């Protein structure tokens, strides 16, 4: 049994397309196993933590930032995870500028407890008065906001 040239070309192209689709299907199944249907990756969970605080922040401007592992005088010597959290906070709240300098009317305190970001769906905001007319709002997911006069 001999195949002419045209038949061999068609079989080769069909096999190439079949294995390409099979490879894509395998990648899609593996991605579904890791991330599920909705975005459950680290960045999406991190951004979701800031949904509640957005209503208390201005659309533009500069706010302060305090977080774990940040060296405020020489930030380049900070802990890598602390810097990552600061940069992710800037990314999440853009175009708002998140600064690690002091003396801001609004300061975000970010505490991830050294692990995965905490996402709480039904957390209540609790307020606590601090000295000198400052108030701290706790969002229950590791995010706090200090408002000074």
Q: What's the pLDDT at 20? A: 92
Q: Give per-residue pLDDT as tens, 93-117.
A: 989 999 988 888 898 988 876 555 5
DSSP state of 69: T
Distance of CA 20 to the CA centre of its chain: 33
- Read off the tokens for 3: 């195949």
Q: What's the pLDDT at 103? A: 85
Among candidates 47, 37, 49, which has minimal Cα distance to 120? 49
What's the mean pLDDT in 58-63? 91
Q: What is the spatial distance between Cα 84 and Cα 119, in angstroms, rounded to a whole number? A: 18
pLDDT band at 147 (very low <50, low <70, confident <90, very high): confident
Q: Give per-residue pLDDT as tens, 27-60.
A: 888 877 776 666 567 788 888 888 888 888 898 9
Q: What is the spatial distance between Cα 44 and Cα 117, in angstroms, rounded to a whole number? A: 10
* CB 112, CB 118: distance < 8 Å: yes
* Share above pLDDT 70 across residues of the chain, in percent, rounded to a whole number: 87
């Amino acid at each position: 049994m001999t195949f002419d040239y045209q038949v061999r070309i068609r079989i080769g192209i069909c096999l190439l397309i079949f294995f390409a689709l099979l490879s894509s299907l395998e990648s899609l199944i593996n991605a579904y196993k890791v991330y599920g249907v909705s975005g459950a990756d680290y960045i999406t969970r991190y951004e979701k933590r800031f949904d509640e605080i957005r209503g208390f922040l201005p659309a533009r401007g500069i706010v302060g930032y305090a977080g774990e592992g940040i060296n405020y005088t020489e930030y380049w010597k900070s802990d890598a995870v602390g810097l990552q959290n600061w940069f992710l906070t800037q990314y999440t709240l853009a175009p708002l500028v998140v600064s690690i300098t002091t003396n801001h009317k609004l300061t975000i305190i970010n505490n991830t407890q050294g692990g995965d970001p905490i996402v709480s769906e039904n957390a209540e905001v609790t307020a606590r008065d601090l000295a000198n007319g400052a108030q701290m709002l706790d969002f229950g997911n590791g995010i706090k906001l200090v408002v000074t006069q």
